[in-house]
Structure 1
Amino acid sequence: MSSVEIRPVSGIAVEPWLDELAGLRIRIFRDYPYLYDGDESYERRYLDRYARSDRSLFVLALEYNQVVGVASALPLEDADQELLAPFQQRGLAPERVYYFGESVLLPEYRGQGIGHRFFDLRELYASDFGFSTTAFCSVVRPVDDPRRPDGYTGLEPFWRSRGYRPATGLTTGFFWRDRGEQEETRKAMQFWLRDAVE
């Protein structure tokens, strides 16, 4: 990991990397469990929403100034309505939540502690801004999904080791087209939450 630089960047300062980040997200999300048939224009719009938030965070993993991974975050109040609405509907205070977008990392850089650094820095940033809860959501696929690769192990044990738990009944959904499909379908997403450690 010595050649990988971890660089936090906030808000519009991420602009020089947005095209590269969009391409990286499309590449990583092709794999299970997302199986996303990527769309560059959608990715740019998605990332622009984070870049416009003055309290957003992008944790870049760079090797020789090339992005090999990224994790994003922003106040839940600044996020898409699909993320905000489930909290509002359950009477949970969205202004207390710092939402973690996806973490993506090229396979050859995994297992070196970079994922922990992604969480460390986002949690620190959330704490510095006074947020009491951090949250993210993960796609839900059937356990018998035939597209699940042999030997696949999910990230749930890693998330639990960081203190996150799935919030019962707190779900949302997003539409995208899976690889090999013609139409977009709604994918169920489960929220995971962690309260700040005092």
Structure 2
Amino acid sequence: MKSVKEITEQLLTGAAIADALDDLATLRLEIFQEYPYLYRGLREDELTYLGTYAEAPDACVILAYDGSTVIGAATGMPLIHEDAKLRGAFAGTALPLNEVYYVGELLFRPAYRNCGFGRKLLAQLENHIRSLCSYHMITCATVERPEDHPSRPRDYVPITRFLAHTGFARVPGATVHFTWLETDGAKRDHTMSFWSKELI
């Protein structure tokens, strides 16, 4: 098991994020092939999407390194700068969108999971968001899959368990649908639910 002390982190904001886009795209393309995403992405699409982090005000990226190798990342930006469909998911809620910060990713390569790195990176991200003094809540989205999905690994631990343990709660009625190409070559519609946490 890796030690938390062996891992270093780098917080990037503004134009500095542009230098990390290739590493982020690689991480996303590899990890999102796994369950529950089963996503077959294109690097060009990833770089286009990730480019918004270098442009959106108050967006940030935290890279986790083992030596010089990127092994994890956390990303986020104010919800008001995110995709219109994501913002629309909160139309029926009482959340003030201009005070909500959206966590796009919290990803680690398999060998670095369940070692405490997720909590450490999330805490660093939350501290940065607090320092901006404009956002009082953070939110993220999870992919909904049935428990009997044929691609679900026997030892799969849902991210929702981590979210519940770190103070997040599901946002009632907040869902969004996205269609993407899965690893078996079929395009499917996917429901994503939202979880939120108040920053104290």
TM-score category (smaller protein): over 0.9
Q: Which residue of 2 aligns with 1:8?
A: 11
Which one of the candidate residues 138, 146, 149 is aligned to 1:145?
149
The match for 2:119 is 116
Q: Residue 38 in 1 paired to residue 41 in 2?
A: yes
Give the corresponding residue for 2:177: 173
Q: CA RMSD in A?
A: 1.4
Q: CA deviation at 1:89?
A: 4.5
Number of equivalent positions: 196
CA–CA distance in 1 between the matches of 2:72 and 2:94? 35
Q: Assess if the C-alpha contact under 8 Å between 2:25 and 2:43 holds in 1.
A: yes
Match for 1:57: what amino acid?
A: C
In structure 2, stretches of 5+ residues that fail to align are none
Structure 2 contact 15–54 (Cα < 8 Å) conserved? yes
Deviations 1:12-40 (A, max 9, x none): 20211211210111100111000011211
Q: Deviation per CA, 1:57-86, whole angstroms, max 9, x where unpaired?
A: 111001222211111000001111111112
Give CA deviations for 1:168-198 in whole Å, capped at 9, x if unaligned: 111112221111123x22210000011122x
Answer with 168-177 or 81-90: which moved more. Answer: 81-90
Q: Which amino acid aligns with 2:146?
A: P
CA contact (8 A) 1:163 1:194 kept: yes
Identity of aligned residues (%): 31
SS in 2 for 1:30: coil
Note if contact 2:85-2:176 (Cα within 8 Å) is conserved in structure 1: yes
Contact 2:92-2:173 within 8 A present in 1 as well:
no
C-alpha contact (below 8 Å) 2:92/2:174 kept by paired residues: no
8 Å CA contact retained: 2:140, 2:194: yes
TM normalised by structure 2 equals: 0.92
Post-superposition CA distance 1:95-127 (Å, at most 9, x none): 010010011111111222210122112211222
2:168/2:197 contact within 8 Å kept:
yes
Amino acid at match of 2:43: E
